[in-house]
Amino acid sequence: MHDDRSLVESRLRRVLDERIRPAVHPRSVPLDVAVWNAPGEPVPVAEGLAAEPGPIKVGDMWGAPWGTSWFRVTGTVPEEWAGRTVEALLDLGFDENMPGFQCEGLVYRADGTPVKGLNPRNQWVRIGAPVQGGEEVRLHIEAASNPVILDYHPFLPTQLGDKETAGSEPQYRLARMDLAVFDETVWNLVLDLEVLGELMQELSADSQRRHAILRAVGRALDAVDLQDVNGTAADARACLEEVLSTPAEPSAHRISAVGHAHIDSAWLWPLRETVRKVARTTSNMTALLEDEPDFVFAMSQAQQFAWIKEHRPEVYAKVKAAVADGRFVPAGGMWVESDTNMPGSEAMARQFVHGKRFFLDEFGIENDEAWLPDTFGFAAGLPQIIKAAGSKWLLTQKISWSQTNKFPHHTFQWEGIDGTRIFTHFPPVDTYNCSMKGSEIAHAARNFKDKGVARHSLAPTGWGDGGGGTTREMVAKAARLRSLEGSATVSWESPAEFFAKAEAEYPQAPVWVGELYLELHRATLTSQAKTKQGNRRSEHLLREAELWAATAAVRTGFPYPYEELDRLWKTVLLHQFHDILPGSSIAWVHREAARTYATVAGELDGIIDAAQRALAGDPASGTRLVFNGAPHERHGVPAGGASPATDGGGASLTPREGGGFVLHNGLLEVEIDGRGLVVSAYDIGAERETVAPGTAAGLLQIHPDFPNMWDAWDVDAFYRNTVTDLTVADEVTAVNSTNAAAVRVVRSFGDSKVTQVLTLSAGAKRLDIETEVDWHETEKFLKLSFPLDIHAERYASETQFGHFHRATHTNTSWEAAKFEACNHRFVHLEEPGWGVAVVNDSTYGHDVTRTVRDTDSGTTTTLRVSLLRAPRFPDPETDQGVHRFRHALVPGADIADAVREGFRINLPERIVTGDGAVAPLVTADQDGVIVSAVKLADDGSGDVIVRLYESRGGRVRVRLATEFEALGVVATDLLERPLADVSQPELADGAVRLILRPFELVTLRLARPQH
């Protein structure tokens, strides 16, 4: 037989596009349309429905950027359509390739009942099946004219990302507003042909199955009368019955489809628009659940449920009913799908606390899975947090985006820094927006790396990022793929059902130890510095607010601000979403975040001040009490307590021969040359130089920064090929300072200016560096360099509840790919017996490189802190303006010193006048055991919650002393529930004794008398 595959396939494409698809709605009549444009921000639904609209017609432009237009569409069903299925086709000017990324709408009935959402892949609204002739139709559409930010030519700078700069030019042309007959037989024929045509493309050219399908498709096309598609569609479908009913091979890969609509809580739209995106999508999904009995939909992010509960209660009622039915599944158990690299220890824990508690309170559901399909890599401390929250599984997809190395597993055990293992799955479909295309299903089966030992994978199915969700077409395709020869099998299942099957079939899954590093989007550790500073500051203020409010509640009866802290935590957690904290959202999001962080700081400072004043007592005594919110004693002030501080000694400053200054305090001698650079930092006790020979520390370096794609997200390795050292100083002057020696350095470069103050304080074995940058560069990357005379094959970066080691060398492509990495408060490098730490108050990105010197064959290991970038997409003004950073170089530091100094720079002491010292509620007798939280129990019982962890990476015995009346102790999970599978600690003689594994996290609940 002659090979006519291309002839039949080309015929199929044209007949589908030009004859069969148009025949799905064979008859139509126009609807009458009117519009009211809401002034300013969106209005309540009742106001939009009641507003008097003005004239508009199909073909007219509408919608200023970020505006809201309320369309009223009315019409009458023709009498001759009686008994038929009729739909309204409502095209706001959609581009079908941009679901979630352009205009959208939510359809209401006249009484305010939500019907469904409109987006480019979902433009229909069912009027009746069947309808009555003469039936009146009246619908209202709340339409959002969200501008297109990420266009066909991506990453072009645009002012559309902020309402303040977007202008008022209409964005869309009204395309279609019709009533139409829906022919279900033709619609099914379209899906039959699509599924078979897509499957054919994935089968080998010489396979019997491919040719059998080809012949059946040819017969079906022959059966279609192109002048009477609707009359002949049933005959065409009959030609396909045999090939559609041939079952899959018993060994076929099995895909669990989970209805999904990954909705970014903010990205190329502001937070307020996400509230409406969630309402549109959930309206669609609850309607689809009613129509499709096999369909299962999962939605993560408790924040998004909370939004519709608050703003769209009529939509939430439908969601809650569908959840109760078991087919609308709250997934993930986190407040938002957060970044996991940058959030601090407690914040990462609270993502699960607040997320899981919301789902428990609202639905009585507890999640076993963490659901993070789009997060940009995963910190090595996360497995323990997932387990401590009562969960045991993790799903993500984003690691498939890695540029250099292909991850070796799709299903595996992920081991964190403390040894905790979490059963983890990466969907081999390689998308969290699966649409049930044949190419996607075939790719999942071919790509699955665990063949022979496992056969299940998951496919998140539905339009996402900007929402939209699963469509009826996807459900119909899945039904045809339930068991179809040549294809993987597809069935709708919840995440829990998938994980239970996958774990059962693969009990000896391979183990991956350490972070799940995404070899992409590395610049998200630096972009939008003010957002990152707001997060870091908020995290530490929340720690202090809980600590001092709990202490004051126990000591003085101070009213513990449960509701305020709950609300503020949720605000901070929301802004850790994986496009807000990483700095990859539009200008509007970050402008709004700056205001929010300022408000949060003001409220938390108010709580802290009130609690400390209650604790300090009578200010008339005039005693200056130092409140120490850090987990280590400082200047004689206990951790978590307050008392007068002791004097730290003195520091001197003298001129340096050749220019500059020498700073000395008996512990360090620091030389700053005439350029304002640190050319020596000598550890007097160890008789050891810190700065590598012939180099200078505290050196600012600037690089060109124009990645190939994803401007705010990416920095590509070639940026390092060109560097400019900022060595010219406008001034280098001594600064008068009490109990400290300080030098001020001013530099100008490009259109920017930087001022640094380098300070050696009395009694401190560290050099503090305060950097103020008035930044007005474009597409540049600013680094702060510390070339160190140290030989280290690996270095430590702080992560959640511990630290993680990375190589300093690039032996393999895996190591070379980590050319920009994340730290929290410190980075630490060490030779046996001597090390160096660099600590910070707000930066995350860094790089570490090593060279061998020609002069003495010694090793120079250079740590560079990432300060600022200037990408132009999606925010063309990223990081422009004044920024302030605080860092410290700590010579002679071991890991314990790095931990201590990291807390010091982030938790400055507070001075309050009072009449007596304040004893801490709890005290750990081991410096390496960190008390990360002291608070009152969330249930309002008055019990004290203490969370602690081992910070050095070693086993330790610790005695936790209580300085209040504690009746008993119980170890709990993060949600403060007693653990059933552990040996419970005991409270004896006012103390709890524990043995902690390396990096082990423990939460204790200390009962207090009921008052």
Structure confidence at residue 4 (pLDDT) = 83
H or E stretch covering 530: helix 529-556
> For 176, what's the count of Cα atoms within 13 Å in the CB-facing half-sphere?
17
374 is catalytic: yes
Structure confidence at residue 621 (pLDDT) = 86
Query: Does the pLDDT at position 871 exceed 70?
Result: yes
Collect all residues with Cβ–Cβ distance below 8 Å to 760 and sequence separation of at least 6: 651, 663, 664, 665, 668, 670, 740, 741, 742, 767, 768
> Which entry of 162, 178, 192, 374 is annotated as an active-site residue?
374
Closest CA to 435 of 504, 498, 490: 490
The mean per-residue pLDDT over the stretch 140-147 comes to 98
Residue type, 472: R
The mean per-residue pLDDT over the stretch 310-335 comes to 97
Checking DSSP bridges between strand 652-655 and strand 661-664, what pairing results, if any? antiparallel
Cα torsion 225, 227, 230, 236 to 10°: value is 10
Six-digit token string for 484 = 């179809």
Closest CA to 800 of 417, 356, 514: 417
**Reported pTM:** 0.97
Check the CA dihedral 466-472-476-482 and report its sign.
positive
The mean per-residue pLDDT over the stretch 386-407 comes to 97
Six-digit token string for 485 = 């020869």
The mean per-residue pLDDT over the stretch 780-791 comes to 98
Rg of the Cα trace of the chain?
A: 31
The mean per-residue pLDDT over the stretch 762-789 comes to 98
755 or 981, higher pLDDT: 755
Tokens 């850090």 map to which residue?
A: 630
Position 1011 confidence tier, pLDDT thresholds 50, 70, 90: low
Check the CA dihedral 513-518-524-525 and report its sign.
positive
Tokens 């403390």 map to which residue?
A: 418
H or E stretch covering 128: strand 124-128
For the stretch 859-862, contacts whose Cβ atoms lie closer than 8 Å and that sit 24 or more positions apart, written own/partner, are 859/789, 859/790, 859/791, 859/792, 860/692, 860/695, 860/787, 860/788, 860/789, 861/692, 861/787, 861/788, 861/790, 861/791, 861/792, 861/795, 861/808, 861/829, 862/692, 862/695, 862/785, 862/786, 862/787, 862/788
End-to-end CA gap in the chain = 91
Residue type, 3: D
Structure confidence at residue 713 (pLDDT) = 98
State what percent of residues in the chain have pLDDT above 90.
97
Structure confidence at residue 648 (pLDDT) = 66
Query: Does the pLDDT at position 1 exceed 70?
Result: no
Q: 228: buried, middle or exposed (CB in 10 Å: 19+, 13-18, 0-12)?
A: exposed
Query: Does the pLDDT at position 500 exceed 90?
Result: yes
Six-digit token string for 626 = 């130092």
Q: What is the pLDDT of residues 818-832, one digit of tens each?
A: 999 999 999 999 999
Structure confidence at residue 916 (pLDDT) = 87
Structure confidence at residue 738 (pLDDT) = 83
Instruction: From residue 351, give the alpha-carbon distance in Å to each of 343, 346, 575, 650, 690.
Output: 10, 9, 11, 44, 39
Give start and end residues of each alpha helix (H) in 381-481. Answer: 382-388, 438-447, 472-480
Structure confidence at residue 736 (pLDDT) = 86
H or E stretch covering 208: helix 208-223
Structure confidence at residue 553 (pLDDT) = 98
The mean per-residue pLDDT over the stretch 231-247 comes to 98
Closest CA to 534 of 865, 905, 884: 884
The mean per-residue pLDDT over the stretch 713-737 comes to 97
Structure confidence at residue 645 (pLDDT) = 80
Nearest-angstrom CA–CA distance, 576 and 702 = 28
Q: What is the pLDDT of residues 843-859, one digit of tens each?
A: 999 999 999 999 999 99
Identify whether the C-beta of residue 473 lies closer than 8 Å to the C-beta of residue 238.
no
Check the CA dihedral 928-929-933-935 and report its sign.
negative
Structure confidence at residue 646 (pLDDT) = 80
Identify whether the C-beta of residue 548 lies closer than 8 Å to the C-beta of residue 611.
yes
Structure confidence at residue 807 (pLDDT) = 98
Q: What is the pLDDT of residues 622-633, one digit of tens each?
A: 899 999 999 999
Q: What is the mean pLDDT of the chain?
A: 97
